[in-house]
Amino acid sequence: MPRRSKARTVPDSDSIAMIDRFPVILAAAGLIGPAVLAYHADDGTRLAGALASGHVAPALGCLALVLAAGASLAGAQRASALCGAIGGTLALLAMILAGFFPALAVGIGFAGTEVGRAIGPGAGILALALVALVAGAIARFGAFRNDRFVSVSVITIGALVVMFVFWPVLRMLSEAFHGESEARAAVFLDRLLQGDIWSLACLWSTARCGVAPNTVILGVLAAFFSTTLALGLALIAVRTNVRFPRAFDALAILPIITPPFVIGLALIVLFGRTGIITTALWDWFGIPRSRWLYGLPGVLLAQVLSQVPLSFLILVGSLKALSPTLEEAAQTLRATRTRILLTVTLPLLLPAIANTYLLAFVESLADFGNPLVLGGNFEVLSTKIFFAVVGAQHEPGRAAVLAMVLLAFTLAAFLVQMRLLANASFVTVSGKGDSGVPAALPKGLPAGLWSIIIPWIGLTIAVYSIVLIGGFVKDIGRFDMTPTLDHLRTGFLVEWTDNGLFWAGSAWDSFWTTVLVSAAAAPLTAIIGLLTAYVLARQKFRGRRSLEFLTMLSFAIPGTVIGVAYILAFNVPPVEITGTGFILIACFVFRNMPVGVRAGIAALSQIDPSLDEASATLRASTGRTLMTVVLPLMKPAIVATLIFSFVHAMTAVSAIIFLVTARYNMATAYIVGRVEAGEYSLAISYCAFMIVFMIAAIAAIRLLVGEARLGRRGSESIAAGGH
């Protein structure tokens, strides 16, 4: 009888490979990167030069990587983790001291040529390798349930968010206290309490109000009108037999892919002093020309036109999801249509209405394009910040104070949004059967709503007709409708020369830069956002709430504030990337990342965690489970994140208007220049070109990523099975 061998657990081969290779791969990346690319950006010094100069940080980093990799190859996995945890932490601390705290670094004996210098891409690769090494090592000692993938993901994402979100905001806040005086609190208060920020003189005299009251007044009015108009549109679309429901969807989608200046430019062409409608009113009715468009009325009109579609999408979804059971019960009790609307329907829509109002309010505060084009003498915080940075006086401290005020307003609005309806219950969908009929609108209300909606639809069609036509006629502003391609040739002329294609148009440089930056930022946004969503939704670890707060912080910060913060944080060592394409990519990635996080969490909530557990039972690692099981089921979230991040990168203006340079100019910055030069037709033709391109890009993204196929049988399969 053969002797039975003692049973033993055989580790998964994939796990052994990861344990053996992980420090080796990090060592290779961390050593080759700075050896090939510049370690110091100011003079191009590579790793060898930095080590020869006696720099402490790279020496500690290389030593930690080499020792961890060597111990791992020798089979001493615990020693490898110990070297990674201790050596990597010391090396990262040395890099932080040398870069961010130069005085302290010199005081403890660092070489003077190492501190206060701008790091290059090689140093960035070394730093990321060290972060991953430390994260993997601490997982070896029990953190994150011994899951190296989760540990590396969480700590790396946290480090990136701290660097590109938290640090710029903190740097901006500190700039508000900088000044020639030693009394920094006095400097801050002097900047904060100036009359042109807080003055309320317009309430009792002809003097102007400060930019803070102007911003709040504009936000309140824009939110009220856009929410009210969107609610009327939603009621018409859902509770009446509208003949063209697709038309509402088209009007709702158009502003999403529209550059931010389009509506303002179209309104100038229509209602400016020499606009089409203004001229017609003067010729036909003798109504004198005026500048009413340039100020609060014009900015308010443009913001309402741009915000109504998004508000409509939110409200129409909530109205469709509203269970008609309670309305039918009210009908049974013989309540009138008006009473049902006021006491049942609208109260149940209150969360959506409140969220829509607050979202429109925040969007109005953050809007930069419309106030810049139509503001005139009506100043708001976003434009005031812009001119404080790029104006002749160049006051970064004042810009920081204004940005703090704007940030305080937006954070207050988000706080209200979270707490306003926290204790109220609006549940209408339960586990019971639901076959009720929604209540009809009160008699006369549809006609009243149509009387408001039809002019809005007409104005929206007129605005986008200007976009479609204005770039292809001689001068639509003066109603010279002679067809021409001169504006398109000026911007997008392509010539064939002996050396091949020559992009001769003046807009090509900004267009290709925008496309390349957006194409680079979109997949990075999707990767970081969806990976963050996965660890937040599927993993439990200490600091999860803090990580979630940091990832959502940039969503609550207006783009103008982000732009100022990036200028102040990354215009000086150690991370001196102002004037490069990398700062634009980083701005877009971490500005749009919260959308990827929210889309990923929403998609994961529909995927049963038992699929992850089944994969783990088959000894698949967390990373492999994510790649082979979860991501294929998250294709809708991937598509949504890619489309949103690409389109927003193409059309962004407020965040990047401070970051563009002559070498890295963006499409929206080019359009701003054409508007300031009065070249409206060229600006309009550029906008039309971008809209067509973005529609094609969205279709390409959908085709490239595909759809989630869940293996469900269609009606043909069911029919075939019945035979």
Report mean pLDDT in 10-residue bins for the chain, 723 residues: 42 43 93 94 89 90 95 89 94 92 80 83 96 94 90 95 92 82 76 88 83 94 93 86 69 71 86 86 87 92 88 80 72 77 81 84 88 90 88 80 90 76 47 57 84 86 85 78 88 85 90 95 93 90 84 80 90 91 94 84 79 85 87 82 87 87 90 84 88 86 66 42 44
Q: What is the DSSP letter of 283?
A: H
Structure tokens given for 3 = 């002797």
Instruction: Give the helix ranges, DSSP H, for 74-165.
Output: 77-100, 102-107, 121-140, 148-161
How crowded is residue 313: how many other Cβ atoms within 10 Å of its Cβ? 18
d(C-alpha 218, C-alpha 302), whole Å = 11
Residue 494, H or E segment: strand 494-497
The three-state secondary structure class of 235 is helix
d(C-alpha 660, C-alpha 580), whole Å = 8
Would you state the pLDDT for residue 415? 79
d(C-alpha 131, C-alpha 124), whole Å = 11
Would you state the pLDDT for residue 429? 44
Structure tokens given for 137 = 């090592």
How crowded is residue 547: how many other Cβ atoms within 10 Å of its Cβ? 20
One-letter identity of residue 536? L
Phi/psi at 374 (5° precision):
-115, 0
One-letter identity of residue 441? L
Would you state the pLDDT for residue 153? 95
Would you state the pLDDT for residue 236? 87
Would you state the pLDDT for residue 10? 38
Would you state the pLDDT for residue 187? 84
One-letter identity of residue 549? F
d(C-alpha 129, C-alpha 31), whole Å = 9
Chain CA centroid to CA 609, Å: 28
Residue of 258, 270, 256 lying closest to 301 (CA atoms): 270
Structure tokens given for 228 = 């009210």
The backbone region for 180, taken as left when phi is positive above 0, alpha when psi lies in -120 to 50, beta otherwise, is alpha
Residue of 629, 615, 538 lying closest to 12 (CA atoms): 615
Would you state the pLDDT for residue 301? 94
Burial class of 605 by CB neighbour count within 10 A (0 to 12, 13 to 18, 19+): exposed
Concatenate the DSSP letters of all residues of 276-342 into one string. HHHHHHHHHH-PPP--TTSSHHHHHHHHHHHHHHHHHHHHHHHHHHS-SHHHHHHHHTT--HHHHII
The backbone region for 543, taken as left when phi is positive above 0, alpha when psi lies in -120 to 50, beta otherwise, is left
pTM for this prediction: 0.83
